[in-house]
């Protein structure tokens, strides 16, 4: 295997996973449009200083093209920053208030699909040239005492004190209709900190600071002024590849697949600032399992270390899905398929390797990518016998 060979193959794969610029533009338009609505007199919650902000893979820059008929999942936070507290409103009060405004928004924008209630959010489904659904999570700012507790937890878990202090300021309390006190005034709301997680994730990407500065310079700005989704870091690219491999591997059994937040968290922890994508992927795949703890919390939320992203692994209700075993099976398969992809010199081998990531390219493009002078591929890596998609 040569570095140039693996970089060529990974570049071809990434081209197929990238979402079109129009998808990012449409996502931005929808964030902004929703924010303008909540700031207007049409929204009853406008008097509570609402803040609409992106969450999830669009915020982190790890979104990939949906497989098949799947939709883009656009996660949005709706934080009412003033006038709503746990002493004045129940979780149900907050969620209903935001839901009523979203229903008005849906009617104003002539969105045909009905508003759908989820446990923690409201879902708006758009049906146009790009299939989106927007999950809107209501929240209020967390109180200062709990933010201080979060800050101490992060510091005790090894996060830089300056980062911990900054991250803790973004913590909020969210609604969850499964909570026993959902309809009661109570201080024990669930903590969420998607923006804090994004800031922590950015701190992991900054290990390749020189590379990020070069990327920003090409865009005519600085790293801090460039939205982090456009940093195009090796860590972001590696996570996009791993998520796609996971999606293809568990296409027929999606309930059993490793969840994105576990892949993202472990990959970010395992990243050591490599500047090339092939080295980044190899390092992450070799190290990420070591960040799974032997005792609870197995995969702690880095911005709230008592929360376990892998809490379902030992939950009897999910025992039939064998979630921990499937995580380890997926990781072993990802290592094997990454090795096959990086070593694929000849067009037929490259075609088969790309198929493991759900990518199909034309023969003309394969031949053009490989080139007439490409070296033959070495023997394929030994792969686990079980292939969930076979």
pLDDT of the residue at 21:
81
Q: In sequence order, what are the beta bridge partners of 132?
A: 72, 126
- The C-alpha atoms of residue 347 and residue 363 are separated, in whole angstroms, by 8
Hey, how many other C-beta atoms are within 10 angstroms of the C-beta on 103? Answer: 15
Cα 106 from Cα 101, distance rounded (Å): 9
Structure confidence at residue 377 (pLDDT): 42
Q: What is the model's pTM?
A: 0.91
Domains in the chain, please, with CATH? 3-370 (3.30.460.10)
| Tens place of pLDDT per residue across the chain (390 aa) | 457 888 888 988 988 888 888 888 888 888 899 999 999 989 999 999 999 999 999 999 999 888 876 778 889 999 999 999 999 999 999 999 999 999 999 999 999 899 999 999 999 998 666 678 899 999 999 999 999 999 999 999 999 999 999 999 999 999 999 999 999 999 999 999 999 999 999 999 999 999 898 888 988 989 888 888 889 899 999 999 999 999 999 999 999 999 999 999 999 999 999 999 999 999 999 999 999 999 999 999 999 999 999 999 999 999 999 999 999 999 999 999 999 998 888 888 888 999 899 888 877 788 777 874 444 444 444 344 344 443
Q: Report the residue count for the chain.
A: 390
- What is the SS3 string spanning 106-127? HHHCCCCCCCEECCCCEEEEEC
* CA angle at 99 for the pair 178 and 259, rounded to the nearest 5°: 50
pLDDT of residue 216: 86
228: CB partners within 8 A, 6+ apart: 59, 60, 61, 198, 201, 202, 205
**Cβ neighbours of residue 180 under 8 Å, at least 6 residues apart?**
none
Report which of 76, 210, 208 is spatially closest to residue 136, judged by C-alpha positions: 76
Helical packing angle, 3-17 and 234-249, nearest 10°: 70
**Closest residue by Cα to residue 243 from 265, 227, 271, 272:** 265
The encoded tokens of residue 338 equal 């990454």
């Amino acid at each position: 295997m040569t570095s140039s060979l693996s970089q060529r193959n990974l570049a071809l794969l990434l081209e197929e996973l990238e979402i079109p610029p129009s998808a990012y533009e449409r996502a931005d338009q929808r964030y902004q449009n929703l924010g303008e609505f909540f700031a207007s007199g049409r929204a009853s919650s406008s008097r509570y200083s609402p803040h609409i902000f992106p969450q999830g893979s669009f915020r982190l820059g790890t979104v990939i093209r949906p497989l098949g008929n799947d939709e883009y999942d656009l996660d949005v936070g709706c934080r009412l920053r003033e006038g709503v507290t746990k002493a004045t409103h129940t979780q149900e009060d907050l969620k209903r208030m935001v839901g009523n405004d979203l229903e008005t928004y849906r009617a104003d924008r002539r969105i045909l699909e009905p508003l759908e209630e989820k446990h923690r959010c409201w879902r708006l489904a758009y049906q146009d040239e790009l299939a989106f659904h927007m999950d809107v999570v209501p929240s209020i700012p967390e109180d200062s005492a709990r933010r201080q507790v979060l800050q101490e937890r992060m510091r005790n878990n090894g996060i830089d004190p300056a980062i911990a202090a900054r991250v803790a300021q973004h913590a909020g309390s969210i609604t969850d209709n499964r909570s026993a006190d959902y309809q009661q005034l109570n201080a024990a709301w669930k903590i969420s900190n998607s923006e804090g997680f994004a800031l922590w994730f950015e701190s992991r990407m900054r290990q390749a600071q020189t590379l990020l500065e070069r990327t920003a310079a090409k865009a005519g700005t600085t790293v801090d002024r460039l939205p982090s989704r456009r940093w195009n870091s090796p860590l972001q690219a590696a996570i996009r590849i791993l998520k796609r491999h996971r999606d293809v591997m568990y296409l027929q059994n999606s309930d059993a697949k490793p969840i994105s937040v576990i892949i993202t968290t472990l990959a970010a922890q395992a990243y050591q600032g490599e500047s090339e994508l092939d080295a980044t992927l190899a390092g992450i795949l070799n190290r990420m399992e070591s960040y799974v703890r032997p005792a609870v919390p197995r995969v702690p939320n880095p911005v709230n270390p008592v929360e376990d992203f892998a809490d379902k692994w030992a939950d009897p209700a999910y025992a039939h899905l064998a979630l921990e075993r499937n995580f380890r099976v997926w990781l072993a398969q990802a290592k094997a398929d990454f090795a096959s992809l990086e070593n694929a010199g000849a067009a037929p081998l490259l075609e088969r390797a790309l198929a493991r990531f759900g990518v199909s390219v034309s023969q003309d493009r394969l031949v053009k990518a490989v080139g007439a002078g490409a070296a033959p591929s070495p023997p394929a890596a030994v792969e686990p016998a079980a292939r969930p998609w076979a």
